[in-house]
Amino acid sequence: MEERSLFDRIHEALDVEPRPGAYERLRTALASKRVKPQRWPALTMRWSKLGLRLAAVMTVVVLAIAAAAALLVTHRVADRETPADSEHAIAAYKLMVFDDLNNFPATRIESECWGDKFAACEADVNATLLAATQFHNDLNRFQAPARFTVAAAQLRRHQALQLSRLNAVLAASRAQDSASMARSVAAFVSGYAWMMAMTDSIMNSQQGTVATYIGSVRNQKQNLDQCVDCQDLAGLNTISCAGSQPTSCQALVDRTAAQATYFQSAVVLIAAPSSMATKDNRLQLDLATADTALVTMAEALSAGDQAGFNAGRASLQASVAAVNVDAADILNG
Amino acid sequence: MVQVMFVQTDTELILAAREGDGSAFAELIRPQYRVAFRVAYGLLHNADEAEDAVQEAAFKAWLRLGNLREGASLRPWFLAIVANQCRTVSRSRWWSVVKAESPEGEGRSVDLAAAVDLRRALLRLGHDERLIVVLRYYLDMPFEEIATTLGISTKAARTRVERAVRRLRPIIQIQGAAF
């Protein structure tokens, strides 16, 4: 029954046909190329799996060293020549985030780290750890411009968590503990969403006007109000996550976290004009508190800790109420 | 007027494509285009990127046509190249927020919300898990063909499908409760 249900829902969710003329465009593109395909199976160098992994790790090391050198130069220039919130400092911070993210290997941890694939898992985690540690160090070393102060603090918290999750995957892999490895991998993968949204907003951040900033806040506030799960979780009704409930609770937390993430990243993407900086700072701080509360709740859920979940929820309730006040203050001038 | 149609066999098309005839290669993959697009769309959730990925994969497949073993089926070989191309696209954008397109039929808000939730859940899977879900539940592939496409055993294909479904189960259950 579940199998049938999955067929139906995936078809409903993804039922898209190629656009008209798509194949003809491909045909035209192929016909216009003059290439000479390999006639026979190519004489290719055969790499063993271990060899490939070693090569990948070596490449990552070389790239990390190059990036570190480039960043060092960037930092020196930024430290020496620019005040904390100049255009140059903002650009340098964006560049640091961009460069560090580019150094991450295309992670396949969720593909490699399961079952008894301990050796493959360890190689992947080590490669990712290298880039993640570099990013973590740069986040700590680099002075964030005022526009990104709150976001940068949250970024450091999230990145520290991702590092500890990676280390937990590594420890579980070394202990050949499949169940623990699966839990840590799930936590690591769930940490992607926030990191992706926030780093994307930082890299594309632009100075907003009063109108564009207020429009962005209004949009996100409406989305938050319309998010039934968010209202449930931030409301006063009793939610038990004991027994068979954890999956439902996890989904509530996930959806609320997604909404909070969109709100946080939106006010970074379209930065408040200076006339609204104080109000924006309050809003960002309260959103950050909500975000931290949601992380606490997610961790409590995975540990089966109802008291921890309740504590996180109390913090979420207070911070969402504060976000509502902050947003009203911004929207009502 | 009598029209004479020359229908080339796959073998003839392969030979022509190996000689550098792009039209012949396009003809060869024509029956696979729709399914390739659906694999790419299932992995990338963006029609433009899916079309581009299939086109790029087609060029790569054409260049590697010599690697296609005599008598081997074209479809799993081509789909594997498409899937790899999608992995490359995902890698290049891994830090960016994936702005998934809305599915058709936006009038049905409950269905739409469920579809969006499911697509988000799919995007949270890793590339390999998402691929196996797409092959099994979107293309309705039997385990044997999934195994051929991924170069794994049928048993491993079954195991991987079960594992991916386990990851999706919470979201499916919650949607089930909403209906």
Distance, C-alpha B124 to centroid of its chain: 17
**A174 and A118 Cβ atoms separated by less than 8 Å:** yes
- Model confidence at B2: pLDDT above 50: no
Q: Which two tokens stand for residue A257?
A: 């976290």
Tens place of pLDDT per residue across chain A (333 aa): 467 777 888 887 777 888 888 888 888 888 877 665 554 443 344 456 667 677 777 777 777 777 777 666 555 444 443 345 678 888 889 888 888 877 777 556 776 787 788 888 898 899 889 989 999 999 999 889 999 999 999 999 999 999 999 999 999 999 999 888 888 887 887 787 788 788 888 988 889 999 999 999 998 999 899 888 899 899 888 877 765 555 578 888 888 888 898 899 899 999 999 999 999 999 999 999 999 999 999 888 878 888 898 899 999 999 999 999 999 999 997
Per-residue pLDDT band at B34 (split at 50, 70, 90): very high
pLDDT of res. B172: 59
Q: Which chain A residues are closer than 8 Å to B111 by Cβ?
A: 12
**Averaged pLDDT of chain B:** 76
pLDDT of res. B124: 73
Q: Do B103 and A12 touch (CB under 8 A)?
A: yes
CB neighbours of residue A178 within 10 Å: 16
Distance (Å, whole) CA A113 – CA A185:
7
Counting Cα atoms < 13 Å in the Cβ hemisphere of B34 gives 7
pLDDT of res. A108: 64
Nearest Cα to Cα of residue B135 among B112, B158, B168, B101: B158
Q: Say yes or no: A109 contacts chain B, CB-CB below 8 A.
A: yes
Q: Which chain B residues are closer than 8 Å to A14 by Cβ?
A: 38, 41-42, 45, 103, 119, 134, 138
DSSP reduced 3-state for A207: strand
Q: Do B115 and A25 touch (CB under 8 A)?
A: no
End-to-end alpha-carbon separation of chain A, Å?
54
pLDDT of res. B105: 41
Q: Which two tokens stand for residue B84?
A: 């790899």
pLDDT of res. B166: 81
pLDDT of res. B6: 52
Those of residues 15-34 in B touching chain A at CB distance below 8 A are: 17-18, 20, 22-23, 25-27, 30, 33-34
Tokens 């937390």 belong to residue: A253
Cα–Cα–Cα angle for B52, B58, B61, rounded to 5 degrees: 145
Per-residue pLDDT band at B64 (split at 50, 70, 90): confident
Distance (Å, whole) CA B84 – CA A106:
12
Which residue in B137, B143, B159 has the most chain A C-beta atoms within 10 A of its own C-beta, making it the best mutation to test that interface? Answer: B137
What DSSP line would sit under B47-106, residue for residue? HHHHHHHHHHHHHHHHHTGGGSPTT--HHHHHHHHHHHHHHHHHHHTTTS---PPPPS-T
* Mean pLDDT for the stretch of residues B118-144: 84
Per-residue pLDDT band at B37 (split at 50, 70, 90): very high
Beta strands in A192-304 (DSSP E): 206-207, 270-271
Q: Do A250 and B96 touch (CB under 8 A)?
A: no
Higher pLDDT, B131 or A101: B131
With left for phi above 0 and alpha for psi between -120 and 50, is residue A115 left, alpha or beta? left
- Tell me the longest C-alpha to C-alpha distance in chain B: 64
* Mean pLDDT for the stretch of residues B54-83: 85
Q: Say yes or no: A32 contacts chain B, CB-CB below 8 A.
A: yes
Read off the DSSP letter of residue B138: I
- Model confidence at B68: pLDDT above 80: no
Nearest CA in chain B to A26: B55
Question: Count of CB contacts below 8 A, A vs B?
Answer: 179
Nearest CA in chain B to A19: B47
**A313 and A236 Cβ atoms separated by less than 8 Å:** no
Q: Do B140 and A5 touch (CB under 8 A)?
A: no
pLDDT of res. B98: 41
Q: Which chain B residues are closer than 8 Å to A35 by Cβ?
A: 20, 22, 59, 62-63
Whole-Å CA distances, B41 to A110, A116, A253, B17, B128:
21, 31, 28, 26, 14
CB neighbours of residue A187 within 10 Å: 19
| Distant-in-sequence, close-in-space partners of A28: CB < 8 Å, separation ≥ 6 | none
Those of residues 98-117 in B touching chain A at CB distance below 8 A are: 98, 101, 103-104, 111, 114-117
Q: How far is B11 from chain A (nearest CA, A)?
A: 14
Distance (Å, whole) CA A324 – CA A326:
6
Q: Do B95 and A14 touch (CB under 8 A)?
A: no
Nearest Cα to Cα of residue A150 among A239, A272, A303, A294: A272
With left for phi above 0 and alpha for psi between -120 and 50, is residue A218 left, alpha or beta? alpha
Q: Say yes or no: A31 contacts chain B, CB-CB below 8 A.
A: yes
Q: Do A35 and B63 touch (CB under 8 A)?
A: yes
Phi, psi of A33 (to 5 degrees): -90, 145
Q: Which two tokens stand for residue A255?
A: 């959806």
Whole-Å CA distances, B47 to A15, A277, B35:
11, 39, 13
Those of residues 173-192 in A touching chain B at CB distance below 8 A are: 186, 189-190, 192
Q: Do A6 and B62 touch (CB under 8 A)?
A: no
Q: Do A18 and B120 touch (CB under 8 A)?
A: no
**B24 and B53 Cβ atoms separated by less than 8 Å:** no
Q: Say yes or no: A49 contacts chain B, CB-CB below 8 A.
A: no
In this complex, the residue of A14, A111, A248 whose CB is nearest that of residue B42 is A14
Tens of pLDDT, residues A248-295: 788 888 888 888 988 998 999 999 999 999 999 999 999 999 999 999
Phi, psi of A207 (to 5 degrees): -70, 125
**B41 and B50 Cβ atoms separated by less than 8 Å:** yes
Tens of pLDDT, residues A217-247: 998 999 899 888 899 899 888 877 765 555 5
Q: Do B22 and A6 touch (CB under 8 A)?
A: no
Per-residue pLDDT band at B103 (split at 50, 70, 90): very low
Q: Do B34 and A17 touch (CB under 8 A)?
A: yes
Q: Do A16 and B168 touch (CB under 8 A)?
A: no
